[in-house]
Amino acid sequence: MTEPILSTRNLTRDFGPFRAVDGVDLEILDGSITGLIGPNGAGKSTLFNVLTGMLAPTAGQVFLQGRDVTGQQSDRLFAQGLGRTFQIPRPFGRMSVLENVMLAPMNQLGERLWGPILQPARMRAEEAAIRERALEVLEFVTLDGLADQAAAEISGGQRKLLELARVLMGDPSVILLDEPAAGVNPTLTRVLIDKIEELNRGGKTFVIIEHDMDFVMQHCDPVIALAQGKIVFQGTAEEAQANPVLLDAYLGAQVDD
């Protein structure tokens, strides 16, 4: 709980003249559920994109489990245990919901060209196990009834659930969730957070971008606030609630809507 599993030094990302992430020094502690808050356009999703190798940083470094992984692509980072979901879901539309989830496990035997030909029995056994587990994950996010539906045909909220199911299926040790609860009904959100906390007790680290302050205050610790690309607050949930600057800059805005 004390070692940073994911950290950055002076991480910066520009879009042309605009600086979306500005000299961020981040420390995500192993085994934490860190909440990442901040107004719209603060640079939260961009930070996720730079952390996971989807965008190259303009300056600065990213460390995963102490190793410098700056500039590594997202597939390699996933292989090292860093997974993420997207704020705007990216389902594989012309694939079944089940297939979307079954894709995630790494190094499947049948991912090799000759796997299906040379080791059909072993591949089938592995496939059956993956299918079994994928159905469990889908059941947990209440999508099991849609397993055989094309992912393009499910609703917006269901797509968010599918995002989550996919990354959970991949079983990374650090999971970045970009607004996992947005558009998901409250009862289900409870179920999801229960599961996240259960996985967290099992040792997984979560970083969650969330606008719902109740959610953040109840379930995230520590809380990091970003504004205009900079970290403007870092502390416990109580400290966040007591922080006048934060309340002003961000929570104040929440009260209005």
Partner 1 sequence: MIGVISYLVFFTTVASILAIAVLGLNLQWGNTGLFNGGVVAFFGAGAYATLILGGTPQADHLGGFELFYPLALLGGMLAAGLLAWLVGVLTLRLRHDYLAIATFGVAVAFETLMRNAEGLAGGAKGLRGFERPLREALGDGFTYNLVFLAFVLTLLIVVYVFLGRLIRSPFGRMLRAIREDEVAAKSLGKSPSRVRLTAFVTGSVIMGLAGGLYATFYAFISPQDVLPILTFQIWAMLIVGGAGNNAGAVLGTFIIWGGWTASGWALSRFAPIEAQLYTGTVQFILIGMIIVGMLMWRPQGLLPERLVVSQSGKPENKHKTGSRR
Determine, following the binding rule CB under 5 A, whether residue 46 of this chain makes contact with Mg ion. no
Task: Name the one residue in this structure whose structure tokens are 């079983």.
Answer: 171
**Which residues, at least 6 apart from 253, have a Cβ–Cβ distance to it below 8 Å?**
39
Determine, following the binding rule CB under 6 A, whether residue 91 of this chain makes contact with ligand ATP. no
Determine, following the binding rule CB under 6 A, whether residue 62 of this chain makes contact with ligand ATP. no
Partner interacting with residue 215 (select from ligand ATP, Mg ion, partner 1, none; CB below 5-8 Å by kind): none
Determine, following the binding rule CB under 6 A, whether residue 57 of this chain makes contact with ligand ATP. no
Q: What residue ranges bind partner 1 (CB under 8 A)?
A: 52, 54, 73-75, 78-79, 83-84, 86, 90-96, 98-100, 102-104, 106, 108-113, 115-117, 120, 123, 127-128, 130-131, 135, 139, 142, 144-148, 150, 166-167, 170
**Which residues, at least 6 apart from 210, have a Cβ–Cβ distance to it below 8 Å?**
35, 36, 37, 179, 180, 181, 216, 220
**Residue, CB closest to Mg ion:** 45
Q: Which of 5, 6, 11, 20 binds ligand ATP (CB under 6 A)?
A: 20
62-83: burial string, b at 16+ Cβ within 10 Å, e else: bbbbeeebbebebeebbeebbb
Determine, following the binding rule CB under 5 A, whether residue 45 of this chain makes contact with Mg ion. yes
Is the separation of the CB atoms in 27 and 155 below 8 Å? Answer: no
Determine, following the binding rule CB under 6 A, whether residue 15 of this chain makes contact with ligand ATP. yes
- How far separated are the first and last CA of the chain, in Å rounded? 36
Q: What whole-number distance in Å separates Cα of residue 250 and Cα of residue 225?
A: 9
Q: Which of 40, 113, 114, 132 binds ligand ATP (CB under 6 A)?
A: 40
Instruction: Give residues in contact with ligand ATP (CB under 6 A).
Output: 15, 20, 38, 40-46, 87
